[in-house]
Amino acid sequence: MGSVLQLLFTGLGIGAVYALVALGFVLIFRATNVVNFAQGEFSMVAAYLMVVFAVDLGWPYWLSFLLSLGGMAVLGAIFNLGVYYPLRNRTFLPVIISTIGASIFLANTVLALYGPQPQVLPGWFDTPGIQLGQVYLDSQYLIIIAVTVLLVAFQYWFFEHTLLGKKLQATSQDKEMAALLGIPVATMIMITFVYSAVLGGIAGILVAPVLFVSIQMGSTIALKAFAATIIGGFGDVAGAIVGGLALGIIETFGAAYISVPFKDAFAFLVLILFLAFRPQGLFGERVAEKA
């Protein structure tokens, strides 16, 4: 029983990271109808910013965290202006290719600036974890799960109970109608990119003490988060959360009870099954039904 609970806890922790990155995918997809393949690199850049502020400069952790997220907000805005905005009237393909190019650019820029050595980022707490009966609770995973819950609650409140959130929703549902209603669509999309970059950044900073800070950390997480997004239903916020958590649990239990070498395969097997039998995902609507 101890092993099952241990696996469940770890699976939830890993899944929560996938869910946070998946949320960024979903928000941008809803606002722009394109997939941002640089979402994983947002996580990586934020983790490196944290290393610069908290480790290299030795600034307080909370200040470093805020500065890193501020940096991510700026990056999100630049990303919108440089990668999405010039191609906003084109089909989705050039935009997707543009985001792939941006992800390669970001990874290689960090590589050139910081070098290839993986870095260590300390966790939030000095205590690495607590032993609860037969289960060891890694303090960083506890924080990851707690922050994910808080962010989901914040997101629900923000989108459902604030005017700005409703404007963002209106923009994501129908840009032309939103513009006719006087909503500044370009600004709303800018805010979406900024928020997604910050979300990706939070995921990166949270997971960095567990997985270490490296150039490829973003792409590793993003691939799974992308699968989680499809499983949950592309474009659905609740789907991204459930998809991410489910994926984390499935791959952890699959590795423990079936095969460790095929751990990654379980995630993608589930993805293929969804694409074959329920392409709209867990929470998505059929496109035909929308029409």
- Residues forming contacts to another protein in the complex (CB under 8 A) are 3, 6-7, 10, 14, 107-108, 111, 115-118, 120, 128-129, 136, 138, 210-212, 214-216, 220-221, 252, 255-256, 260-264
Shortest separation between residue 235's beta carbon and another protein, angstroms: 26
Instruction: Answer whether 39's CB lies under 8 Å from 204's CB.
Output: no
Shortest separation between residue 18's beta carbon and another protein, angstroms: 10
Strand partners, 129: 138
User: Among residues 260 and 276, whose Cβ is nearest to another protein?
Assistant: 260
Give CA torsion, residues 270, 232, 256, 143, to 10 deg. Answer: 160
User: Among residues 164 and 258, whose Cβ is nearest to another protein?
Assistant: 258
Shortest separation between residue 61's beta carbon and another protein, angstroms: 18
Instruction: Answer whether 224's CB lies under 8 Å from 18's CB.
Output: yes
User: Among residues 62 and 212, whose Cβ is nearest to another protein?
Assistant: 212
User: Among residues 15 and 76, whose Cβ is nearest to another protein?
Assistant: 15
User: Among residues 123 and 284, whose Cβ is nearest to another protein?
Assistant: 123
Shortest separation between residue 38's beta carbon and another protein, angstroms: 16
Integer Cα distance of 259 and 278 in angstroms: 26
User: Among residues 155 and 229, whose Cβ is nearest to another protein?
Assistant: 229
Shortest separation between residue 288's beta carbon and another protein, angstroms: 37
Shortest separation between residue 71's beta carbon and another protein, angstroms: 23
**Residue 225, phi then psi, degrees to nearest 5:** -65, -35
Integer Cα distance of 13 and 192 in angstroms: 25
User: Among residues 99 and 214, whose Cβ is nearest to another protein?
Assistant: 214
Of 94, 107, 98, the closest CA to residue 79 belongs to: 98
Shortest separation between residue 230's beta carbon and another protein, angstroms: 19
User: Among residues 193 and 226, whose Cβ is nearest to another protein?
Assistant: 226
Shortest separation between residue 141's beta carbon and another protein, angstroms: 10
